[in-house]
Chains A and B, each alone.
Chain A
Amino acid sequence: MRFLSLELENFRQYEGKQTVDFSNDSKKNFTIIQGANGCGKTNFMGAIQWCLYGEEQIEASKYEKSMTLEMLNESIIKSLKTGDKETVRVKIILGDDKPSLIIERYRVYVKSKTGVVEIYDESFKILEHQSGGFKEVENKEVTIKRILPKEVKGFFFFDGEKLDSFFRVGSGSNIKKAIFDVSQIELIETTIDHMEKVERDLERKMENVSPAIADKSKDKQDMLTKKLKLEKEKEELEREINKANKDLNDIEDYLRKHHISDVKQTQDDRDRLISEKRGLDDRIVEIDLEIKDLVLKDYSSLHITHEIKSTIGKIDDLDKKKKLPPDIDPFFLRELCESGKCICGTEFSKNSKEHIKIEKMIEKNDYGENADLLLEGRSVLRDILEERKREVKEIEKLNKEKKRGEDRLKIIRERLDDIRIKMEGTDEEEVSRKESERSMIINALGKSQANQSICISKIKDLEETITEHTKDLENLLEKSQENQEVTGQVKLLNDSIDTLKKILFEIVEEVRNTIQTKTEEYFFSMIWNRESFKQVRIDEEYNLSVINNYGHECLFSLSAGQRQVLALSFMAALKEVSGFNAPVIIDTPLGRISGEPRDNIAKNLPDYLKNTQVTLLVTDTEYTPSFKDKINKRTGAEYLIKFNKEKGVSKILKNG
C-alpha cells in the first residue's frame, strides 16, 4: 500500500492546509521534499507518525524547544482570542492505484480565560473503501498494524543523520533490539514470561506440604529475584554504555569538524590510530586462539616427543641390522613347513634337517609378522614429528607476529596519550574542556563495560544453578504423593517453557542470518568500491562487522560515506525482513556526508529500494545539482518547503 497524499493543517510550522501528492509511479518511486534546516522536514515526518500512531517520535534533545510547545501552529496560537478554537489536522490517503484508506487525526485547541491554549477535543478515524463507498473502520489498531506496526515503523521512517549510531562500539544491543523488533517475537516472549510466573505460583502452593520442597523453592525464588535484579543492572549498564558512546561520538565529531585545522588533523590522526588499534587488538585475540588450537591439536604427542624419537631410533637400528623387513617372509616359511615340500619340489619330513633349518629361520626372525607393523609405525611416528616441527614453526611465526603487534600497540598507546595531552593542553578552551570530558567518559565507559561483563557472567552462572534447582525440585515433587497433581502441572509448564525458548532462539537466529545476507546484498549493490570488501557479518552477539579483501574487520576504518551506505543497507534489510510493504521516508538520507562520498552515494541511491515508494526529505546542501541529476529519472514528485522567517511559518510548494 502506498501513500497517495498527505494533508497537513496548522501542524507546527505549517500554517493553513498544505498538501503533498506522493509519486505513485513504480518506475518513478521517489518523492523529493526539499527544505533548509529548521524549515519543518522533521516535523513533516513527525506529522505522519502522529497521524498513524498518535505520537511524533521526534528526538527530544534535538527539538527540545518545539517539543515543549503545543502542536498547533505558533502564529495561530498568537492570533487566538479567549474562547477561540483552532484545529490541527493530519490526513493521509493510502491505496495502490485508487484511494482505499483515509486515516485522519485531529486535535482542537481552545484559548482559555487564563490565556492558556488547551486541548478541547481530539479524534482519530479511519475510513476504508468497501462496496458502496468509504465506511468507518471499527478496529483502528488492527488496521494500523496491518499497514505498519508501531514496533517496526523505525525501519520505514528514519533520520539518515542518526543511522551511524547503529554501528558504534558496543552498539550490539541496538542491532539486537532491531532484530528482535523485526522478528515480532513479542508473542513468544510474553507467553514464556506468563508461563514462568504461573509456574512459580504453583511451586509456592506446594511449599506448605514439604519443608524440603519449601527450602528448595525458596532458594529458587531468591535466585530468580537475584537474576531479575542483575538483569535490570545489566540493562542500566547497557544504557550507560550507549549514552557514553553517543557522548564520545559527539565530542569526536566536534573535534573532527573543528575550524582550527590542527585540531581537526589531530582528531583525524587519532581516528586512524584507534582504527589501527582495534584491528591489532582483534588480530592478537585471533593469534592467541590459533596458537591455542595448534597446541591442543597435538597436546598428547607434545609430552612424548622423547619416547617417539627413541622408538624411531630403535626401529632404525633393527632396520640397519636387516631385521626389518626379514630376508624371507616368515609366513612363507611357515607354509613350507606345513606343506612339507620345498619350492624346488623336494619333499621333506617333519624331523628332517630341512624342516629343522626352516624352523630355526622362523625363530631367528624375532619380530615375526609384526615387522611390517613396526615399519608402518615408524612412518607414522616420523609424520607426527614432521607435523610437530611444522606446527612449532607456525607457532613461532604467530608469536613473532603477536610480538610485532604488541610493540606497535605500545607505540599507538603512547601516541594516543600524546594526542590526549596535546588536546587537553591546547589554548582553545572549548577543545581542552571537551578533551578532558572525553577522558572521563572513556574511564567511565571502561568501568561500565567491565561491570557489564561481570553482570553477564553472574547471570549465566545463576541460570545454570536455577536449572539445577528446577530439576531437583521436580525430583522432590515427583516423590511427594500429595503434590502429584500440581507436579504434573509444573512439569507441563516447564516442558512448554523449554520448547518455546528453543523456538524463540531458532527464529531469532534465522532472522539474524537473513538480515546479514540482505544487508550484504544491499551494501554490495550500493557501494562504489565493491572489490575492496568480502563480507558483511552479524555475529551471535549482534555485532556488525565488515570484512575486507584481506580478511580483516574494517568497520571502524570505513569512511563516513561507506558507513552511511552500510546503515542504509541495514535499514533496507530490516524493512525487507519485516515483511511490510509500507512506504519509506528518510530524513536527511545522506547524513552529514559531503564531497565525493556524497556524490558516490547519490549515484547509487536511485537503485536503493527499487520496488518501494520512497520519500526523501533533503536539505538544500544535500540536494546538489549532481544529486538531482542522478535521481531525476526516478523522481515522480518534487516539493519545496518554503519557510517564512518573519512569521516563522512554512508552506509546501510543488516544484517543477
Chain B
Amino acid sequence: MTTEKINKLILEKVEKSDCDNKTKEFIKLALEFERDFLNDELNRYTERYKKYAEYFSKKKGDSK
C-alpha cells in the first residue's frame, strides 16, 4: 500500500476503534510523530511520549 493510503487507513481504523477519545487522540499524535521521526534516536521519542502520556492522562475523561 502506498504511504498515503496506509496512513489514511490507519487513521480511519483508529477513529472506528472502541477506545475512548483521549486514547484516540494520543494514538493519532504518536503516529504523526512517528511519521516525522521514523528513524529517529530513542531519547527523542521517549521524552516526547512521556510528555504526551502525562498530558493526556491528566485530561478529563470523555465519552467514547
Q: Do A and B make up one complex?
A: yes
A485 with B45: CB separation less than 8 A? no
A190 with B50: CB separation less than 8 A? no
Interface residues of A in 223-261 (CB under 8 A from B): none
A495 CB contact (under 8 Å) in B6, B19, B46? B19
A residues near B26, Cβ cutoff 8 Å: 492, 496
B34 with A499: CB separation less than 8 A? no
Q: Which of A182, A185, A492 has the most CB of B within 10 A?
A: A492
Known contacts A488-B57, A491-B57: A187-B1 contact under CB 8 Å: no
A190 to B41, CA, bound (A): 12
A477 to B28, CA, bound (A): 26
A578 to B4, CA, bound (A): 11
B45 with A503: CB separation less than 8 A? no
B30 CB to nearest chain A CB (Å): 5
Q: Does A175 contact B (CB under 8 A)?
A: no
Interface residues of B in 2-37 (CB under 8 A from A): 2-3, 5-7, 9-10, 13-14, 17, 19-20, 22-23, 26-27, 30-31, 34-35
Q: Does A291 contact B (CB under 8 A)?
A: no
B23 CB contact (under 8 Å) in A149, A182, A495, A511? A495
B9 CB contact (under 8 Å) in A197, A498, A507? A507
- Find the A residue at minimum CB distance from B4: A579
A201 CB contact (under 8 Å) in B7, B9, B50? B50
B17 CB contact (under 8 Å) in A149, A502, A507? A502
A496 CB contact (under 8 Å) in B1, B3, B19, B45? B19
Known contacts A183-B1, A184-B2, A194-B45: A489-B23 contact under CB 8 Å: no
A499 with B38: CB separation less than 8 A? no
A residues near B57, Cβ cutoff 8 Å: 485, 488-489, 491-492
Q: Does A580 contact B (CB under 8 A)?
A: yes
A186 CB to nearest chain B CB (Å): 7
B43 CB to nearest chain A CB (Å): 11
B10 with A503: CB separation less than 8 A? yes
A201 with B38: CB separation less than 8 A? no
A510 to B6, CA, bound (A): 12
Mask: chain A, 54-82; 1 = CB below 8 Å from B; 0 = not: 00000000000000000000000000000
Known contacts A182-B1, A499-B27: A201-B53 contact under CB 8 Å: no
Q: Which of A202, A500, A502 has the most CB of B within 10 A?
A: A500
A194 to B39, CA, bound (A): 12
A residues near B31, Cβ cutoff 8 Å: 187-188, 191
B1 CB contact (under 8 Å) in A500, A502, A506, A511? A511
Interface residues of A in 141-187 (CB under 8 A from B): 145, 149, 182-187
B13 CB contact (under 8 Å) in A201, A495, A496, A503? A503
B46 with A201: CB separation less than 8 A? yes
B residues near A182, Cβ cutoff 8 Å: 1
B54 with A489: CB separation less than 8 A? yes
Interface residues of A in 475-500 (CB under 8 A from B): 485, 488-489, 491-493, 495-496, 498-500
- Find the B residue at minimum CB distance from A488: B57
A70 CB to nearest chain B CB (Å): 29
A195 with B30: CB separation less than 8 A? yes
Q: Does A295 contact B (CB under 8 A)?
A: no
B17 with A503: CB separation less than 8 A? yes
A188 CB contact (under 8 Å) in B1, B10, B20, B45? B10
B46 CB to nearest chain A CB (Å): 6
B34 with A187: CB separation less than 8 A? yes
B14 with A499: CB separation less than 8 A? yes
B residues near A493, Cβ cutoff 8 Å: 49, 53
A residues near B30, Cβ cutoff 8 Å: 191, 194-195, 496
B33 CB to nearest chain A CB (Å): 8
B residues near A187, Cβ cutoff 8 Å: 6-7, 10, 31, 34-35, 38
B59 CB to nearest chain A CB (Å): 9
A184 with B6: CB separation less than 8 A? yes
- Find the A residue at minimum CB distance from B24: A499
Known contacts A492-B26, A496-B26, A496-B30: A145-B3 contact under CB 8 Å: yes
Q: Does A198 contact B (CB under 8 A)?
A: yes
Apart from A191-B31, A495-B20, A499-B27, list 16 A-B contacts with CB within 8 A. Answer: A183-B1, A186-B38, A187-B35, A188-B31, A197-B42, A201-B46, A202-B53, A488-B58, A493-B53, A496-B26, A496-B30, A499-B23, A503-B17, A578-B1, A578-B2, A580-B2
Q: List 29 A-B contacts (CB under 8 A).
A: A184-B3, A184-B6, A187-B31, A190-B34, A191-B30, A197-B42, A197-B46, A198-B53, A489-B53, A489-B57, A492-B22, A492-B26, A492-B53, A492-B56, A492-B57, A495-B19, A495-B23, A496-B27, A499-B17, A499-B27, A500-B27, A502-B17, A503-B10, A503-B14, A503-B17, A506-B13, A507-B6, A577-B1, A578-B1
Q: Which B residues form the contact surface with A (CB < 8 A)?
A: 1-3, 5-7, 9-10, 13-14, 17, 19-20, 22-23, 26-27, 30-31, 34-35, 38, 42, 45-46, 49-50, 53-54, 56-58
- 7 interchain residue pairs of minimum CB distance: A488-B57, A489-B53, A579-B2, A198-B49, A503-B13, A184-B6, A489-B57
